[in-house]
Amino acid sequence: MIAYDTVVIGGGPAGISAALTCASQGLSCLLVAEKYGGKLNDISHLSNWFGGGLGNGVQLANSFQNELGGQTRLVTIVSTAVTSLEPVKQGGENSYIVQLQNDSRVIARSLVIATGTKQRQLGIPGEKMLLGKGVSYCATCDIPYFRNKTIALIGDNNRILAVTDELARHAKQVYLFSSLDSRAVRASNVQVIMGASFDKIVGIDKVSGLTYRDSKSKRVVHLALDGVFIESTALGNSQLVSHLVRITRDGFIKVDHATMATSLAGVYAAGDVTDSSYKQVSIAVADGTKAVLSVKKYLNMKEIT
């Protein structure tokens, strides 16, 4: 089996950042992902990435991949899935066997897990097709592009009031679909709609409206909208390492945020899969860099001992 200093799992901003940092630090690296770019591919407008003149996530993802293409001496890129990870003793040191879906196996002296999250979708027709085209799961990320626009917010989790207040400060009109008591909403530009059943999110190249059925009158209502924000629970994609490291109830990997170290020596995590309070492209990139700098220190210490 081929051995690598580190295997990075995940092709989003955190994973690509980790692989590029491996190259800059002279570490041999295998970068494994089923697809590259991660959620960048669903972002129509970048609001938290500075410089480069890039307007959307796809452009940034392409920029990252182009940079990776120049680092093939140290970074091996594989487009497949990882099916299992198991600790093993290799040459007297703790390592990990990485089983790939293409039936090959490699040895990793360390791991960086950057597998991101999976979003609980509502299953409304048009939701998936218009993701990144006016449908958003991240108010903090995308609300700057809906300033003075008319939007809908759908959700019932414990953050819904805070998210409502944030959107109301920017948008012209917010239609809040929630069981939240309307008396809890202070903003005059928020209308609370309770008990609606959704027909579809309307639009072709971008969101243009939302059609729903009113629970009391049973009539079908169409709202003309510029965007639909969905406040649903995201879950960490940590199944691969759930038997190895500590995770939260929602599947996020617990890390030391100074080093990105998990509870198991030699295993690091970066980006949205961690228990960080903030999920941003810029933070994920920084996490990937920190994780690999910590990997290098960890490997150097192993060599000394």
Q: For residue range 125-171, list pLDDT tens digits in order.
A: 999 999 889 998 888 778 888 999 999 999 877 778 888 998 999 99
The CA distance from 109 to 267, in Å, is: 9
Instruction: Assign 291 to helix, strand or coil.
Output: helix
Task: Tell me what pLDDT residue 66 has.
Answer: 79
Q: How far is Cα 246 from Cα 174, in angstroms, rounded to an integer?
A: 39
Taking only the tens place, the pLDDT of each residue in 35-44 is 887 777 766 6
Q: How far apart are CA 94 and CA 88, in angstroms?
A: 6
The class level of CATH for 2-118+233-304 reads: alpha beta
* 196-246 pLDDT per residue, tens: 999 999 999 999 999 999 888 889 999 999 999 998 878 899 999 999 999
Confidence of residue 65 (pLDDT cuts 50, 70, 90): confident
pTM here is: 0.73
- The Cα–Cα gap between 174 and 161 comes to 12
CATH architecture of 121-231: 3-Layer(bba) Sandwich (3.50)
**C-alpha to C-alpha distance for 168 and 216, rounded to whole angstroms:** 26
Domain(s) of CATH 3.50.50.60: residues in the chain = 2-118+233-304, 121-231
- pLDDT at 92 > cutoff 80: no
On average, the pLDDT of the chain sits at 88
